[in-house]
Each structure stands twice: as structure tokens, then as C-alpha cells.
Amino acid sequence: MNDKIIRVLLLEDNAGDARLMGELLKESTTTQFDLVHVERLTDALIKLTKEVFDVVIIDLTVPDSSGFETFLKIRSLSEDVPIIVLTGFSEDELAEKTLQEGAQDYLVKGQVSNSSLQRAIKFSIERQKKKLSETPVHTSKKTTQAPVPEKKGKILGFIGAKGGVGTSTVVINAGIILAKERHKVTAVELMPHYGSFSQLLGHMPGDNLKSLLDFDLKSIDEGLLHHKLFNHPTGLKVLFSPQSSHEIKEIDIEHAKTIINCLKDIADYTLIDFPNYPSNTTKESILKCDSLTLISDAEPVSLASGKVMLDLISLWGFNRSHINAIIVNRVISPQPVKSSEIKSQLGCEVLGIVPTATLACTIAQKSGEPIAQSLLDNNFVDQLTQITHKLCGTPTSIKVF
Ligand SMILES: Nc1ncnc2c1ncn2[C@@H]1O[C@H](COP(=O)(O)OP(=O)(O)OP(=O)(O)O)[C@@H](O)[C@H]1O
Ligand SMILES: [Mg+2]
């Protein structure tokens, strides 16, 4: 079976038709489909803002919208995702109109077979890819188009100046921002103890880093790692740290290095959340990173602690010009420190300041949907998007949501 799972969003208010679609897709022996079904246009639009799909299949007549209007609204949120329209027997004209306006295909209800559905999905994805590759980036209103993939992915390390400064929040939200832009992204908690990814994502992982450490080095490869990764609905893949006391185990240097090498083959960007205390494993792992980002509060203790941390990492032999910092304003400071002052204090570039988002953080943690997934705070998402683009060297001027 093909490795790639094709995510399909189906807008269909008829439960019987939706069930039939699900059954037809399940019959495939070559491709795995992940079908997400909604009955109302509003729900489809919410899904499209929060999750990444490979194709959208829409019935034009649903309880809260009908006809061409349904197509236009879906298209406005999924310009880069192929749309397949479901029509009735006598709706050829409407079907043609949607094709002229960008739909990739249409299927006549009642005449859909297993093979015609799968063919339509696969060809639509291919045609859309071709169309996007022929469209200059600057003419696209929104871009969710990935750049030409690199041979090996980039490893981006993140470390807190001290505990509780917002490191994991930055890693998860930056990962989601990149994943929603259709980059391949993995977020990893490379720490021997419990980390907060599971809380931030509202997901209790069935598997985690600990079970990888039990394998001998020769058995750890891309395939094994894929099995250990959690697939978040936004497209972000996640490797969690141990979740219970009996799983806590030191990470040995060779395992850490082998895992990082495999991660380079899996994703365009691997974001590693490191523990904020020094160890030989953290040292050797950081030395394998393409960049290292310090996360800090703007207050004096955090900055002083961050400076010591960066000096140590430089002493380890990590190129200082590949070190940068992100300031997280977890609370509104009565005396905000300027980026330029922080830069001279830390001795590295400051990529930006993440604004205070107390309420959004609380709601995000309660719901298990990070801010960048739910778009709870536009200022937070906008700033972090710009910072993430600076870090990855991707364009900053293109709005992605
Ligand atoms: N921009 C922000 N505004 C307000 N609160 C924030 C912001 N970013 C993070 N927080 C809050 O700060 C707390 C710590 O965040 P987080 O767990 O990401 O930090 P951390 O540095 O990874 O912590 P640890 O050292 O425990 O791993 C959380 O309650 C989080 O919701
Ligand atoms: Mg953390």
C-alpha cells in the first residue's frame, strides 16, 4: 500500500451518500484515505481553516448553502486544494461552470464507482499540483504551496533560557504554521522526561521517544520513526517525550544522533524542543542542528540565564552566527525592553517578539487546539508567522491564513 494517506474533506448532507463514499474509499488496496465528513458548509469552512486536506469533495446543496455559491465559498478557503463537485443528473451546466472557475472535476451522484472516485481524486491532486507549479507565487492570493523540497530537511533547535518561558508553545505553534503552509514538519521533544506537547495538543500519545530508545541503533530508520510519530490534523507530525514515570530514561548520545539523522529524511523542517539544562546528549544533538533558537522572557533573570546558556553552547563549538532568539512576552511588562537592547545583551539576532496571549493560551490548553490551529489570537499568529518565516528563510510578506 502507498505510504501517503490522502486526506479528503467531504461536504455532504445526505448520510447515505456520505457512507457510500466512505465505503468506496475503503475498498482501495493501493491507497489509504482519511475521510472527514461534514454536513454543513459552515463546518466545512471551519475545517478548512484548521486542518490540511489533499482534496475537497462537495455536494452543492447543503442545509446552509446551495448551488454555485457553495462552490465559491469553499474555493475562497481552499484555493490551492483541488475541489471535486458532486452534481445531480441534470446539472451539467452548473458542473461546467464550477470547472471553469477552478473545480478540478465533477462526479454525478448515483454514478460514482470505487474506481471512478479514486481516479478522480488522484487526477485532481495531480492536476492541481501541476497548476500550482505553473502559477507564479506572487500571483497567488494566499500561498499554501511548499517550496521545492530540499534533499535533507533542516533541524531547528529550540531551548528555553530557563523553565516555563514559552518554549514548547513556540515550537508547537511554529510547527503548525509551517504544516498549514504544506511544509513537511516534525516537532520533537528530545528530552528524557515529561514534556508539555501532549497537553498542548490535547493528545495522549500511544507511543513516544522511550520506545525508540529501546531499539538497537541499526533498527532505527525512517520507517520505524514514521510509526512512532503522531499525525496531527494540521499535518504536523509529533514525537512525544515519555509520558509516565516508568518510561523516564536517559537518552544516550548515539540514539539521539541516529534519530536526528532519520528526522532529516522525513521532514523539510524538524523542530526540536530541548531541555533547558546542559547534558552531553543535548550538546551533541545541538551540534547537529542547522540553527539554535533561544526562547526567553524579556526580564533580566531570563536574559542573564539565556546569555549563559548561549555562551555555553558557543563553547561547545556551535557557530554563534547560527544562534538567534525569540522573546515571548508572557505577561505585559510595565517597562518593555527593546529588541536592540536584548540583541546586544544576548549577542545574537532577535527574530521577533511573541505578544502576550494569556486568554488564548488558556483556551488553547483547555481545548487541546493550539492558537495557530484555532486562530484564537491574530496578533500572536501574525507575529509568530513572521518570526517562523525569518527562522526558515521563507517569505515574510505572504499571508497564509
Ligand atoms: N505568548 C504568551 N502569552 C501568555 N502566556 C504564554 C505565552 N506563551 C506561553 N504562555 C504560557 O506560559 C506557560 C509556559 O509555556 P510553555 O509550557 O510553552 O513553556 P516552556 O518553556 O516550554 O516550559 P517548560 O520549561 O516547563 O518546558 C504556559 O502556561 C503557556 O500557556
Ligand atoms: Mg516545554
Is 143 part of any domain?
no
Where residue 88 falls among pLDDT bands split at 50, 70, 90?
confident
* 165-168, long-range: CB < 8 A, 24+ apart: 165/295, 165/296, 165/297, 165/302, 165/328, 165/330, 166/295, 166/297, 166/328, 166/330, 166/354, 167/273, 167/276, 167/295, 168/195, 168/196, 168/197, 168/200, 168/273
pTM for this entry: 0.73
Same domain flag for 230 and 343: yes
Q: What is the pLDDT of residues 125-177, one digit of tens each?
A: 988 888 777 765 544 444 444 444 445 899 999 999 999 999 999 999 999 99
**CA of 74 relative to ligand 2 center, distance in Å:** 37
pLDDT per residue as tens digits for the range 342-394: 999 999 999 999 999 999 999 999 999 999 999 888 899 999 999 999 999 86
Least confident of 12-16, 21-25, 49-53, 239-243: 49-53
* Domain identity same for 377 and 238: yes
In terms of domains, do 184 and 131 share one?
no
Which ligand approaches the C-alpha of residue 365 most closely?
1
pLDDT at residue 401 in the model = 34
Tens digit of each residue's pLDDT (9 = 90 or more) over 172-212: 999 999 999 889 999 999 999 999 999 999 999 988 999 99
Q: What does the alpha-carbon distance between residue 41 and residue 46 come to, in Å, rounded to a whole number? A: 9
Q: Which three cell numbers stand for residue 74?
A: 469553499
Task: Report pLDDT for 136.
Answer: 58
DSSP code at position 356: P
Per-residue cell: 316: 561547545
CATH code, domain with 181: 3.40.50.300
99 occurs within a structural domain: yes
Measuring from atom 12 of ligand 1, which residue has the nearest CA? 166
Q: Looking at the domain assignment, is residue 38 inside a domain? A: yes
Backbone phi and psi for residue 371, each to the nearest 5 degrees, phi listed first:
-55, -45
Distance of CA 162 from the midpoint of ligand 2 (Å) = 10
User: What's the pLDDT band for 112 if we cut at 50, 70, 90?
Assistant: confident
How many A from CA of 195 to the centre of ligand 2?
6
Asked if 202 and 108 sit in the same domain, the reply is no
Ligand 1 contact via 140 beta carbon (within 6 Å): no
Query: Does residue 366 share a domain with residue 286?
Result: yes
Q: Does the structure show a pLDDT above 50 at 396? A: no
Count of domains in the chain? 2
Q: Judge if the beta carbon of residue 169 lies within 6 A of ligand 1.
A: yes
Range from 95-104, 126-135, 305-314, 358-367 carrying the lowest mean pLDDT: 126-135
Residue numbers of the domain that contains 63: 5-135
Residue nearest to atom 11 of ligand 1 (CA): 166
- Asked whether 161 lines ligand 1 (CB < 6 A), one says no
CA of 372 relative to ligand 1 center, distance in Å: 15
Within-domain flag for 147: no
Same-domain check for residues 125 and 255: no
Same structural domain for residues 54 and 113?
yes
Which residue owns the Cα nearest ligand 1 atom 1? 356
- Helix, strand, coil percent content, the chain, rounded in steps of 5: 45, 15, 40
pLDDT computed for residue 188 by the predictor: 98
Domain annotation covers residue 401 = no
d(CA 35, CA 31): 12
Query: What is the reported pLDDT for 96?
Result: 87
Dihedral (CA of 374, 378, 384, 385) sign: positive
- 118 plus 232 within the same structural domain: no
Identify whether residues 371 and 321 lie together within a single domain.
Answer: yes
Helix then strand count (H, E) for the chain reads 16, 13
CA 273 to centroid of ligand 2, rounded, Å: 7
Q: Do 116 and 181 fall within a single domain?
A: no
CA distance 173 to 102: 31
Co-location of 125 and 167 in the same domain:
no
- Do residue 183 and residue 252 come from a single domain? yes
Backbone angles phi, psi at 395, to 5 degrees: -60, 145
Is residue 364 lining ligand 1, measured as CB closer than 6 Å? Answer: no
